[in-house]
Amino acid sequence: MTLDINGGLKNTSISHNRYVVFEELLSNSIDSYLIRRSVEPSTPPLHIELGVEFVRNSLIADTYDVAIWCEDNGAGFGDEQIKAFVTKDSTYKDYLQIQGIGKCKGAGRIQFFHFFSQLEIDSFYNSGNERWRRKIFVNSEAREIAESDFVKEPTLETVRTRLVLKRIKEKALGPLFDIATLRSDFSAFTIHHFLKTAFLQRFIVLKNLVGGFSIDIIERENGEDVCEVISSDQLPTPSQVIPISVRCSHRDDASFYALKLTRYSLFEKDSPSLEHEVALCANSAIVTSLTRYFLKTAPDRRRPIDGKIELLLVEGEVLDQKVNVQRDGFNIPKECTNSKEFSEEISLEDIVESLEETVFRILTPSDFNRDELLNSTQNRFGISRAMLDAVNIKIHYGDTEENIAKRVLKKFQDDIVRDTSSIFDMKQALLKLDPRSSDFRDVVNNLSWRYTSSLQKMDMANLSQLVVRRTAMLEVLQRATELLLSCQEHEPGKRQEHEKIIHNIFFPTGKDSTDSVDHDIWILNEEYHYYEHIASDKALSTIKWDGKNLFDADIDESLEKLFKKNNEEHYLKRPDIAIFNKEGAAIIIEFKAPGVELQDHINDLAQYARLLAAKSNGRIKRFYGYLVGDTMDENRMPTGWIKFPSIDGYFNTGRLEDPRTGRQYGELYQELVFYQHFVDRAKNRLEVYQRRLNVNF
């Protein structure tokens, strides 16, 4: 048997866990001790020495190379262990039936060669009534390791094994370590903190199995040692063990999986360097941290809760089975699916969701104000309590307005896609049913119910965004008409463009509906949103209709003579916004800046209407004109205008006709109204949506 080093490096990725080498060394040492103890009940207490030696780099000042060693009093490298070592996918440990031992995937020794260039092993072990010594020295450039590469000789030395790794590789330094901070990253204090947290669950299991043990973590430079110790008498006892049931909530046929959450509450004064930790474990060791999901910010992760730091470690048989070969993740999909063909029945998303209620109950400070966060989310994104309930989203400590909005809208989107797919499948199934069958109407009723439910979710998702956007636009318009926008502040020598600012709130200037669909014409009237063509402050000659010019110069000769002078003088004259539909109607809107008196511009609407009618070759005959502002001198209003009964403003309707012949070629309905009228009317429409969403702004 041989271990293919090159093949292993090629086919096994470097771990994203930069301390994976320490984890592997410690885990293997614990396993080795448990193996020895299973055949030698009188084995001395477990003692492991993990060391890091720093050697100053002679080429780059204040930088180091490191060598790592691990010495233990485990079983050592006997014949069975040698076979397992040179077999990458060895199942040796799986068959030992020893409680507390880790699974053997064979990836750990490949990580040694990913991180370091040299490996040395010096092992003293018992075999029957004899004691032997095995040694090997390997460079990562070596192609493979065979059993015969180990040098074996008899010895009388004490049973122990020492493994040394030297010459850290640049490819490990690049993505995982900074050469400038290597000294602190590999310090005894840092390694002690990491291993004590990562192996806490396994240490507790180990204490129950073997009693007392000690692990010395040594930092060495120029012959001077600094030592940190992890011992069995330092370990906390669990404050809670909570069963967790996991099931994919999106599949009716999904299986349940049992997990166990073990809680350790550590006093801050005893563990000043620890942070809150929520992690998924495999084989009694932490594999994946979930802490940042539950506690988004670093201050939250460091802040004690009632004077304690919480370690919440989750384990279960499914996690032991699904841990990957690098032992830095799980072979479980990140998100769930309702596909029947998909082989996995749970996802990491399902696991996290199953933990939420329990974990947040533990990690939520007493001063957390859920209602305040919900209200601010509602005001900013239009996410109401009804929407949260509809997709079963709960607000927790550590959430933000943006985080909540993303979760809610993603859940709506996922549910809508799933419901749409389900409805399609049901329709297809319905077409195959015999209307005479007993279950035909049951399927029809089920289809109707699902479709109705899906529509409600679609409405909520869309309405929430609409309400927020429209509320914001109305507030901007209100402030613009009151000259309160920041861009309206008076500056000496700067031209005031209040009319243009208001214009752009409704529709971007110089564009039409072929250029832009992002406008807010709905403020004027909801139905204008659906007209075929909108032209905003564009030259009339550029307006297209079905790909052709809307206004034709070759019109009836009498009309051309009538409007010749008008056309020559106002060839580029155009209203602020003109809206057309195929039924031959046009809406003309003229915005006036605050303070400009509306009655002085009444003739503008008639002039625009005649111009558009004349140049449209009879295609545009009905006109609706709006003169919008905030100032009016009613004493100067011409006769024939009628005052609105319920709002400030006037309206008028009249014929557009040839003054010589009396021939009618169109009709004009006009309104002189204030901006506040449109704002109030639009707010009333929004209130309907808000009541439906149960949202208040």
Q: Provide DSSP, 133-180.
A: EEEEEEETTSSEEEGGGSEEEE--SPSEEEEEEEEE-HHHHHHH--GG
Backbone angles phi, psi at 35, to 5 degrees: -65, -45
The pLDDT value recorded for residue 59 is 55
Is 378 a member of any domain? yes
Give dist(CA 176, CA 169) in Å, integer: 11
Name the region of 483 (left: φ>0; alpha: ψ -120 to 50; beta: rest). left
The predicted pLDDT at position 565 comes to 46
Identity of residue 65: D
**183 and 317 share one domain:** no
pLDDT number for residue 621? 85
Q: Are residues 64 and 194 in the same domain?
A: yes
Q: Are residues 310 and 401 in the same domain?
A: no
Q: What is the pLDDT of residue 465?
A: 57
Q: What is the mean pLDDT of the chain?
A: 79
The two structure tokens encoding residue 14: 């470097």
Does one domain contain both 378 and 506? no
Judged against a pLDDT cut of 90, whether residue 123 lies above it is answered with: yes
Least confident of 361-375, 506-520, 610-624: 506-520
Does residue 645 share a domain with residue 592? Answer: yes
The torsion region of residue 537 among left (phi > 0), alpha (psi -120 to 50) and beta comes to left
Question: Is residue 165 left, alpha or beta, with left meaning phi > 0 and alpha meaning psi from -120 to 50?
Answer: beta
Q: Ranked by mean pLDDT, which of 11-20, 55-64, 319-328 comes out on top?
A: 11-20
pLDDT at 591: 84
At 430 the pLDDT is: 64
Residues 374 and 358 in one domain: no
Confidence of residue 255 (pLDDT cuts 50, 70, 90): confident
The C-alpha torsion from 81 through 86 and 91 to 94, rounded to 10°, is 30
d(CA 374, CA 123): 62
pLDDT in tens, 577-609: 777 766 678 888 888 888 889 998 888 888 778
β-pairing, 308-315 vs 277-282, is parallel
pLDDT, one tens digit per residue, over 464-522 is 556 666 676 777 778 888 887 777 777 777 777 787 787 777 777 767 666 655 677 77
Instruction: Evaluate if residue 125 carries a pLDDT over 90.
Output: yes
Give the side-chain half-sphere CA count within 13 A for 164. Answer: 15
* Domain end residue (candidates: 449, 481, 513): 481
pLDDT bin (cut points 50, 70, 90) of residue 224 is very high
Beta bridge pairs of residue 627:
590, 672
pLDDT band at 463; cut points 50, 70, 90: low
pLDDT band at 114 (very low <50, low <70, confident <90, very high): confident
The CATH number linked to 88 is 3.30.565.10
Q: Is 686 domain-assigned?
A: no
Do 389 and 359 share a domain, yes or no? no
DSSP-derived secondary structure for 295-360: --SHHHHHS-BTTEEEEEEEE-HHHHHHB-TTSSSBSS-SS----TT-S----HHHHHHHHHHHHH
CA–CA gap between residue 35 and residue 72 (Å, rounded):
13
What is the number of structural domains in the chain?
A: 4
> What pLDDT, on a 0 to 100 scale, did the predictor assign at position 320?
86
* Interval 174-205: pLDDT, tens: 777 777 788 888 999 999 988 988 888 788 88
- The reply to whether 48 falls in a domain is yes
Identify the residue with better confidence: 675 or 418: 675
Domain boundary among 365, 400, 432: 365
Q: Which of 184, 209, 229 is the last residue of a domain?
A: 229
Are residues 552 and 597 located together in one domain of the fold? yes
6-26 average pLDDT score: 86
Q: Half-sphere exposure of residue 477, counting CA atoms within 13 Å on the CB side?
A: 29
Whether residues 37 and 186 fall in one domain: yes
What's the rounded mean pLDDT across residues 626-648? 89
In a shared domain, residues 113 and 202: yes
Say whether both 8 and 111 belong to one domain.
yes
Distance CA 76, CA 31 (A): 10
The tens digit of pLDDT for each residue in 560-575 reads 444 444 445 444 445 6
Name the band, by pLDDT with cuts 50, 70 and 90, for residue 576.
Answer: low
With cut-offs at 50, 70 and 90, classify the pLDDT of residue 679.
confident
Q: Judge whether 197 and 277 are in contact, CB under 8 Å.
A: yes
Residue 689: inside a domain: no
Q: What pLDDT does 467 receive?
A: 62
CA distances from 123 to 133, 136, 163, 190 (A): 6, 9, 8, 28
Q: Is residue 398 part of a domain?
A: yes
Is there a single domain that holds both residue 205 and residue 286?
Answer: no
Is the predicted pLDDT of residue 62 greater than 70, yes or no? Answer: no
Domain that holds residue 412: 368-481
- Spatial separation of the C-alpha atoms in residues 168 and 120, rounded to whole Å: 14
Instruction: Return the higher-pLDDT residue of 464 and 387.
Output: 387
> Quick one: pLDDT at residue 420?
66
pLDDT score recorded for residue 15: 84
Does the residue 681 lie in any domain? no
| CA angle (371, 376, 378) in 5-degree steps | 95
Question: What is the percentage of the chain residues whose pLDDT exceeds 70?
Answer: 75
8 Å CB contact between 69 and 132: no
Q: Does residue 691 form part of some domain?
A: no
- Report how far residue 550's alpha carbon sits from residue 544's, in angstroms, rounded to the nearest whole number: 5
- Residue keyed to tokens 């040594």: 218
Q: Is residue 457 part of a domain?
A: yes
The tokens 């004077």 sit on which residue? 307
